[in-house]
Chains A and B, each alone.
Chain A
Amino acid sequence: MNLPVKTTNVVVPEKGVGPALREARHLSFWAENAAPIGLVVLVIVFSILSPSFLTIGNIQSMLVAAAILVILAVAQSFVITTGGIDLSISATMTLGAVGFGLSWQAGLGFWPSAVIALLSSAVIGLVNGLLIAKGKVTDFIATLGTLSVATGLALILTSGRPISITSVELLRLTTGSVWIIGFPFILAIVVGIVAWFLMFRMRFGLHVQAVGGSEEAAVANGINAGRVRIAVYLIAAVLAGLGAILLVARIGAAEPAINTSYLLNSIAAVVLGGVSLTGGRAKIVGPILGALLLTALTNGLTLLGVSQFYQPLAVGLVVVLAALLTRFQKK
């Protein structure tokens, strides 16, 4: 057993460029910063290979394209920090989109339809939370179940047909921008900032991290772990509902189709962001950068004329590489 060391002897982590450079010799540095490094590398490579990659127009469209994934990655990050996973996130988004479409079809305006989109997604989140926190069902199984339920409901409610929507507000949402930054991305960044404060500056986020780190210790300190779990699945679902509104705006229709790539990419973004699936260590900026990286990767490959078929392969390789790197993260 070591003696408790004197305060003065303890190495306090330094901040600044010098130590960062020294740390770069260690694998853990690359593991901790996989997302920003990967993003920079991708941007450099693609801008060399394709002159149109770093044009204002392309950056603009990349940011808009990234918005939904950024929001889903933030959502997934809350769940994964508790040691859970939300496999239903993309199906929840689909159901939210259908909720929007049906309300719109019923003659409700944009705002009521948007609220109904959020609510119909929230229902799935609540079911997830209750199944996992109260029913003690494994997160994987519970959200796999609701993935199927939400997908089925979306198909049943629409008879499998997309509902096309033309709304001034939706049009403004997709096309509006401040300078080169489109409204969808601004929304995503606002979500990211709020999420960061919630996770790192507020009581709730500390409890999320505590439950993920050690549920037993969290409970022994008076934290209601069940309530925290319900809350993270609810947050994830409401964010998926927000993504649904962006999705409807983007496509111009509420489609009941499943979109598994959003699910896989949301988890991939979180893994790229350096979050361990075992929970306990929260990150918000990392997953956002991970989402940007994945979007840049898809965009760059498209610009280079690489067949769509290769995109899942590329995403898969990047994610597996990132997952391998996380083994070298500092504990």
Chain B
Amino acid sequence: MNAAANSDVILSAQDITKSFGGVHALRGASITMRRGEVTALIGDNGAGKSTLVRCLSGIHAPDSGTITLDGEIVHFDTPLAAREAGIETVQQNLALVEDLTVWQNFFLGRERTKGAGPFRMLDRSSMRSTATEMLSDLAVNVPPVTSRVRRLSGGQRQAVAIARAAGWGSSIVIMDEPTAALGVQETARVEDAIRKLQASGVAVLLISHNFDQVLRLSDHVWVMRGGLAVAERRADETTGDELVALITGAKAA
């Protein structure tokens, strides 16, 4: 790791392990993210990328290892703790509840209420208007926030999940394959959104299988294989061919 860049490091995960029964999804993975950069995380299916993301976003507690945020060791017991620390995530499965409306999904787990004590009511109108703003900020054409997610197309859902993660003024946004199922135009929109986030000073962790996209958007690339982060490269010092070789193990780090 580049020691000189340490002060730039906003988030670092060290020696993270996580097993599910007999499956060792993470075997001591370590990655770092630098302030203001787009960091890409690549690797074959099952390499452990999403598991690492879920550890960083408070869904899984790592079996061992440390997560350091802004120089302080953090433990995220719940996704809310990660959010409060300024980490927003677009999960690979989007984590949207199809039966709920767009605005309900936006505020799920952090609803705004009005009134006092046990009789606090949801502040529906304020949540609706904020959700509408957050969606339009993303400059993506999307349906009204009162529609149920079930009725949205795949691209619209992805837009909703991304807008939900992008709009909270957080310091880190993690996106697990945000363009996986998208057409050309939607992909371009999401990439725009990532650039906008970066321009506003947000550190983005981008998981993607699309090397062109990775090289286009990111400053730094981490390669995962078999539950470990096996290599890192500056995006402008590597090529798609080298990344493929690193992923498959044809080339050692």
A-side residues, CB < 8 A to B, are 1-7, 10, 12, 197, 201-203, 206, 209-210, 212-214, 216-224, 280-281, 331
Q: Which residues of A contact B141 (CB under 8 A)?
A: 3-7
A281 touches B111 (CB 8 A): no
In this complex, how many residues of chain B approach chain A with their Cβ under 8 Å: the count is: 45
B residues within 8 A CB of A224? 78
Shortest distance from the beta carbon of A246 to any chain B beta carbon, whole Å:
25
Q: For chain B, what secondary structure do more than half of its interface residues adopt (helix, strand, loop), or is it mixed?
A: loop
Contact A220/B91 with A1-B155, A4-B141, A10-B143 known, Cβ cut-off 8 Å: yes
CB–CB B99/A281 < 8 A: yes
Inside 8 A of A219's CB, which chain B residues have their CB? Answer: 59, 79
A111 to chain B, nearest CB (A): 22
* Most central of A10, A212, A217 by chain B CB within 10 Å: A217
The interface residues of chain A, by DSSP majority, are classed as loop
**Distance in Å from the Cβ of A4 to the closest Cβ of chain B?**
5
B151 and chain A: residue at smallest CB distance: A331
A sample of 5 cross-chain residue pairs with beta-carbon separation below 8 angstroms, ordered by A number, consists of A4-B156, A4-B159, A201-B124, A206-B108, A210-B104
Q: Which residue of A lies closest to B156 (CB)?
A: A4
Assess whether A213 is in contact with B79, with CB atoms less than 8 Å apart: no
Q: Are A222 and B110 in contact (CB under 8 A)?
A: yes
- Please pick, from B94, B104, B146, B155, the residue contacting A2 in the complex, using a CB distance under 8 A: B155
Q: Are B143 and A5 in contact (CB under 8 A)?
A: yes
- Apart from A206-B108, A218-B109: 6 A-B pairs, beta carbons within 8 A: A1-B186, A4-B156, A5-B141, A5-B156, A206-B122, A217-B96
Task: Specify which of A12, A203, A212, A281 is in contact with B120 (CB 8 Å cutoff).
Answer: A203
Quick check: is B9 within 8 A (CB to CB) of the other chain?
no
* Contacting pair B120 A221 (CB below 8 A): no
From B57, B59, B155, A4 is in contact (CB under 8 Å) with: B155
Query: Which of the segments B15-23, B177-185, B199-207, B237-245 contacts the partner chain?
Result: B177-185
Cβ of A4 and Cβ of B140 under 8 Å apart? yes
Structural contact, A213 and B99, CB atoms closer than 8 A: yes
B residues near A, CB below 8 A? Answer: 57-59, 78-80, 83, 91, 93-100, 104, 108-111, 113, 120-122, 124, 140-144, 146-147, 150-151, 153-156, 159, 181-183, 185-186
Residues in chain A near residue B99, CB distance under 8 A: 209, 212-214, 280-281
A5–B78 alpha-carbon span in the complex (Å): 35
- CB-CB < 8 A to B159: which residues of A? 4
> Quick one: closest B residue to A276, CB to CB?
B99
B122 pairs with A213, CB closer than 8 A: no
A202 touches B100 (CB 8 A): no
Least CB distance, B84 to chain A, in whole angstroms: 9
Expressed in whole angstroms, the minimum distance between the Cβ of B95 and any Cβ of chain A is 4
**Bound-complex Cα distance A280 to B58 (A):** 24
Name the CB-closest residue of A to B112: A203
Q: Which of A3, A206, A214, A220: most chain B CB closer than 10 A?
A: A220
A197 to B151, CA, bound (A): 26
List of B residues within 8 angstroms of A220 by Cβ: 57, 59, 79, 91, 95
Of A7, A203, A209, A218, the contact of B111 (CB 8 Å cutoff) = A203
Q: Determine the residue in chain A with the shortest Cβ distance to B110.
A: A222
Report yes or no: A213 in contact with B155, Cβ–Cβ below 8 A: no
Complex-state Cα separation, A201 to B122, whole angstroms: 5
Q: Is the CB of A214 within 8 A of B98?
A: yes
Is A1 within 8 A of B182, CB to CB? yes
Contact (Cβ within 8 A) B79 A2:
no
Nearest A residue to B184 via CB reads A1
- Whether B122 lies near A203 (C-beta < 8 A) is yes
Q: Please pick, from B78, B146, B154, the residue contacting A1 in the complex, using a CB distance under 8 A.
A: B154
Partner of B100, one of A5, A12, A209: A209
Q: A1-B181, A4-B156, A222-B78 are in contact. Are A213 and B97 (CB under 8 A)?
A: yes
Report the Cα distance A261→B213, complex, angstroms. 62
Partner of A214 from B97, B109, B111 at Cβ < 8 Å:
B97
